[in-house]
């Protein structure tokens, strides 16, 4: 009896028409473009190659990535033209030298040494020619030299203290 029920269920399922979900053509990629003129079209990607294209009289399948338009994002490194400083040696085990290459600082210019938690460890005036920062009493780690001119943090440089 059990076999009869299984056979009936199998026959019912085999006569059903099963259709898959229809997906409209969509493209996901990082960059590229699409051009159409008359009956011809061209689409391409930048940096993502189409690996395989299969087609018959009704369908076309392309493995790969395509995108009809793209946006670019860039980050420009901003250099501070006001300060022309040489900070060396980095990394160091004892003293950092800050050599000024021709800028005259105002009397309100201060130099801070800050740890990664944002605590000010050293505060001293910045000399017009050469400034030395003694790091011997500090533990090994990453620190930041910040130049503060008239209340504005106008220059930051990362340094590393080694043992």
pTM metric for this prediction? 0.50
Q: What is the pLDDT of residues 49-82, one digit of tens each?
A: 556 677 777 766 665 555 445 555 555 544 555 6
CATH number of the 85-161 domain: 2.60.40.10
- pLDDT the model gives residue 125: 86
Higher pLDDT, residue 64 or 36 = 36
Residue-wise over 7-40: b if at least 16 C-beta within 10 A, else e?
eeeeeeeeeeeeeeeeeeeeeebeebeeeeeeee
Residue ranges per structural domain of the chain: 26-74, 85-161
């Amino acid at each position: 009896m059990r076999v009869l029920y299984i056979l009936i269920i199998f026959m019912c399922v085999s006569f059903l028409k099963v259709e898959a979900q229809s997906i409209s053509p969509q493209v996901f990629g990082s960059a590229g473009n699409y051009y159409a003129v008359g009956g011809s079209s061209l689409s391409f990607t930048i940096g993502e190659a189409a690996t395989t294209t299969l087609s018959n009289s009704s369908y076309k399948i392309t493995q790969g990535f395509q995108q009809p338009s793209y946006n670019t994002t860039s980050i420009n490194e901003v250099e501070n033209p006001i300060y022309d400083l040489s900070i060396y040696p980095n990394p160091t085990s004892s003293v950092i030298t800050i050599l000024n290459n021709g800028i005259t600082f105002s009397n309100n210019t201060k130099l801070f040494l800050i740890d990664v938690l944002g605590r000010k460890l050293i505060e001293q005036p910045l000399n017009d020619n050469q400034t030395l920062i003694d790091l011997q009493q500090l533990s090994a780690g990453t620190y930041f030299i910040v130049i503060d001119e008239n209340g504005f943090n106008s220059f930051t440089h990362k340094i590393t203290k080694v043992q």
